[in-house]
């Protein structure tokens, strides 16, 4: 038996069709191992940034099945995606299942010829590519863990920061500050309705947009009484060349502007098209097209549009490290401009087909024309003009008509011709600040600055939205109050680490690891040691962030002092300047809030604080007003008694397992929390697991009782039996 392993069931289904039963094709369904969630200790820094991986939740059965099949296989091929992440997935599969000498095959398109050719040329797993991906994963975990921990202390609990998401947020905030600082100016747009000697209507626009109303009035009065004479007519032939075939960033940008797709949606749809064998791999920096593909493209152009439209051309790479794939994103078969199983797949496929075909077609020829008109003889009156263009030869626009634009053909006039005045109009407007970034605009900006790589653009934007740092309003990415505060804190304290230069240089270093020109340990060490030193320094020196002083009209409702704008889980609010000594609070609009209430008790832990009632995610609770310096929480003895299961905690031996409510529903944890953090999902039965000595808990419909330890075979014996 021969075994071929991919990461996607859809990809497995497509490949199986081409192999005529010679291989058993199985899918890992993405990653099967990862670093433990929210655990910095998973990385042994002292040993050289060595990560400890664990089987991803729900992948135990997949691992067991691959192990079972591998024992019977004479040949094992790993055929995951042809990029760093795909290389890492292959390595994890081999490591987790104990594969002996598996071979790696890659194909950039899932067609019969490409698959068979790849199988003929297997290679070893590329450890440089794998290490580059591991370096990125470890680096992001360390930065995120340390930086997020500091933000919890200085800004608000539960927030996070990342190595690449933070520079992206900074870019959005820089634009937002430009918008806030922008001072609008009034100006006027002046247009005139005229007719040519042949009685054809001609709309003219004043070449200037005056700021002075007196000048506007003068132009209008002069226009009504003076002559309108054509002083210049120019016609210029210009060429419009086609754009390069799509790379990841340009596909995301064009799909956003033409189809309204978010980058994450574009990549999801493109993944489906790739797995179905309809397009080449969709994560790429390269604009190259293979010789075979170019031959198919030229043949399609000749048969569909005519031989005179054929114009082979090559495009230079936009990235110096176009390592993600060998070709641009293109259809695998050029004959059809319609493919895909859903309307969104068909729309994206058509976009890719049009761009690919157009890239090898003749230039379009455009005639641009301009008519310039003088009003009277007063030289202080600016000229009026009309601009137009029309297509003389469509060229590549035949294949990509949406790129054409609208033809505006001007009437024929001659220099010296007198126009008939009909009417003149003025419209008062205001100058506008620079626009906020759209998703497409941010992808373009990230690519321009060298921040991130093709596989990360969509994830960066999605992360910013999911964490509530930006929100999309009318296609524009607007920073939230939370995003504003987080970005400001990071910019004030870690400016060097989120600069364009530093972030782009780190991407280049990861590329060097992939190319074998730099070592994993040195790259991480050179970055992390000074970074950690800065984090520890900022723990002492960085100020707890607020958003400045409130308007003087808003005073504390309790003590009458001034108030500060602060950030809470519900957004901005006003807090007394003397907090936590004074608990006065208002909404951002100035309405008094029922804030925390004093209990009259002193904090038994820090001795200097006062106990207050607070509103938490799961109801009211009592804690010290010195939080986060003092984390004392007073237990409600009656509530603990009502929720107690009576089962002794096996970890600390002094507490009892108590029912609690968390973000994912009910769970059971030790009554000595937070000193003892033992917790399980289901109600404990009181019995001890004979295999690992952990608590047994309520089971499922098919398992009456099971171990609370996830890694114990007794945790889900029914599932284990099915695998066997």
* CA angle 579–585–591, rounded 5-degree value: 160
* CA gap 207, 385 in Å, rounded: 6
Q: Is 626 helix (H, G, I), strand (E, B) or coil?
A: coil
* CA gap 470, 478 in Å, rounded: 5
Whole-Å CA distances, 243 to 218, 356, 563, 652: 46, 9, 56, 67
CA 598 and chain centroid, separation: 43
Q: How many CB atoms lie within 10 A of CB 704?
A: 10
Q: Indicate the DSSP class of residue 311.
A: -
Q: What sign does the dihedral 345-346-349-350 (CA atoms) show?
A: negative
* CA gap 483, 467 in Å, rounded: 9
Closest C-alpha to 97, from 128, 57, 125, 70: 70
Closest C-alpha to 434, from 180, 166, 170, 167: 180
H or E element that contains 462: helix 457-466
8 A C-beta contact, residue 98 and residue 25 = no
Q: Is 332 helix (H, G, I), strand (E, B) or coil?
A: coil
Pair type for strands 2-6 and 75-78: parallel
Pair type for strands 384-393 and 201-206: antiparallel
8 A C-beta contact, residue 233 and residue 371 = yes
Nearest 10 degrees: Cα torsion 248, 251, 252, 253 = 120
8 A C-beta contact, residue 321 and residue 511 = yes
* CA gap 382, 385 in Å, rounded: 10
Q: How many CB atoms lie within 10 A of CB 221?
A: 12
Pair of tokens at residue 323: 């390592």
* CA gap 650, 669 in Å, rounded: 11
CA 106 and chain centroid, separation: 26
Bridge partners of 585? 575
Q: Indicate the DSSP class of residue 557.
A: T
Q: Which residues are catalytic?
A: 281
């Amino acid at each position: 038996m021969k075994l071929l392993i991919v990461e996607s069931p859809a990809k497995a289904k497509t490949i199986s069709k081409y192999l005529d039963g010679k291989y058993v094709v199985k899918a890992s369904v993405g990653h099967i191992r990862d670093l433990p969630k929210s655990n910095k200790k998973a990385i042994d820094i002292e040993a050289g940034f060595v990560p400890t991986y664990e089987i991803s939740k729900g992948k135990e059965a997949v691992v067991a099945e691959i192990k079972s099949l591998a024992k019977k296989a004479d040949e094992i091929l790993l055929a995951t995606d042809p990029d760093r992440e795909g290389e890492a997935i292959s390595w994890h599969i081999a490591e987790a299942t104990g594969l002996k000498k598996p071979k790696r095959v890659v194909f950039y398109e899932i067609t019969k010829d490409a698959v068979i050719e790849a199988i003929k040329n297997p290679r070893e797993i590329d450890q440089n590519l794998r290490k580059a991906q591991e370096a990125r994963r470890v680096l992001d975990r360390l930065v995120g863990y340390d930086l997020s921990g500091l933000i919890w202390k200085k800004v608000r609990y539960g927030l996070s920061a990342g190595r690449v998401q933070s520079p992206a947020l900074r870019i959005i905030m820089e634009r937002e500050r430009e918008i806030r600082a922008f001072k609008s100016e009034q100006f006027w747009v002046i247009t005139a309705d005229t007719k040519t000697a042949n009685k054809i209507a001609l709309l003219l626009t004043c070449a200037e947009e005056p700021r002075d109303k007196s000048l506007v009035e003068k132009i209008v009065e002069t226009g009504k009484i003076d002559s309108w004479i054509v002083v210049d007519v120019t016609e210029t032939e210009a060429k419009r060349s086609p754009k390069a075939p799509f790379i990841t960033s340009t596909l995301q940008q064009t799909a956003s502007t033409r189809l309204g797709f978010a980058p994450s949606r574009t990549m999801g749809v493109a993944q489906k098209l790739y797995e179905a064998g309809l397009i080449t791999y969709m994560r790429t920096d390269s604009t190259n097209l293979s010789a075979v593909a170019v031959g198919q493209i030229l043949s399609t152009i000749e048969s569909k549009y005519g031989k005179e439209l054929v114009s082979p051309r090559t495009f230079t790479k936009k990235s110096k490290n176009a390592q993600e794939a060998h070709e641009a994103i293109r259809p695998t078969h050029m004959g059809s401009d319609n493919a895909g199983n859903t309307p969104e797949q068909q729309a994206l496929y058509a976009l890719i087909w049009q761009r690919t075909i157009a890239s090898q077609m003749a230039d379009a020829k455009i005639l641009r024309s301009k008519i310039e008109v003088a009003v009277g003889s007063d030289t202080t009156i600016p000229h009026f003009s009309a601009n137009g263009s029309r297509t003389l030869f469509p060229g590549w626009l035949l294949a990509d008509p949406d790129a054409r634009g609208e033809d505006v053909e001007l009437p024929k006039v001659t220099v010296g011709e007198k126009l008939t005045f009909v009417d003149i109009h003025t419209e008062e407007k205001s100058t506008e600040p620079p626009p906020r970034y759209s998703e497409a605009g941010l992808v373009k900006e990230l690519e321009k600055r060298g921040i991130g790589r093709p596989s990360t653009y969509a994830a960066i934007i999605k992360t910013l939205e999911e964490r509530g740092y930006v929100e999309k309003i009318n296609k524009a990415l607007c920073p939230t109050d939370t995003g504003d505060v987080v970005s400001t804190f990071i910019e004030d304290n870690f400016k060097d680490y989120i600069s364009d230069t530093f972030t782009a240089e780190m991407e280049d270093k990861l590329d060097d690891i992939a190319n074998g020109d730099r070592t994993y340990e040195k790259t991480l060490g050179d970055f992390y040691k000074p970074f950690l030193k800065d984090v520890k320094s900022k723990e002492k020196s960085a100020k707890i962030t607020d958003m400045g002083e409130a308007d003087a009209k808003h005073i504390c409702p309790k003590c009458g002092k001034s108030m500060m704008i602060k950030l809470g889980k519900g957004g901005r609010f006003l807090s007394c300047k003397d907090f936590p000594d004074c608990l006065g609070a208002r909404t951002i609009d100035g309405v008094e809030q029922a804030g925390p209430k004093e209990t009259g008790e002193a904090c038994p832990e820090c001795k200097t604080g006062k106990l207050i009632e607070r509103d938490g995610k799961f109801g009211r609770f009592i804690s010290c007003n010195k939080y986060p310096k003092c984390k004392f929480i007073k237990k409600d003895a009656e509530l603990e008694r009502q929720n107690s299961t009576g089962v002794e905690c096996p970890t600390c031996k002094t507490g009892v397992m108590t029912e609690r409510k968390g973000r994912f529903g009910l769970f059971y944890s030790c009554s000595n929390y937070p000193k003892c953090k033992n917790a399980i999902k289901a109600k404990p039965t009181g019995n001890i697991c004979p295999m690992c000595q952990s608590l047994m808990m309520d089971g499922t419909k098919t398992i009456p009782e099971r171990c609370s330890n996830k890694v114990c075979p007794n945790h889900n014996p029914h599932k284990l039996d099915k695998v066997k």
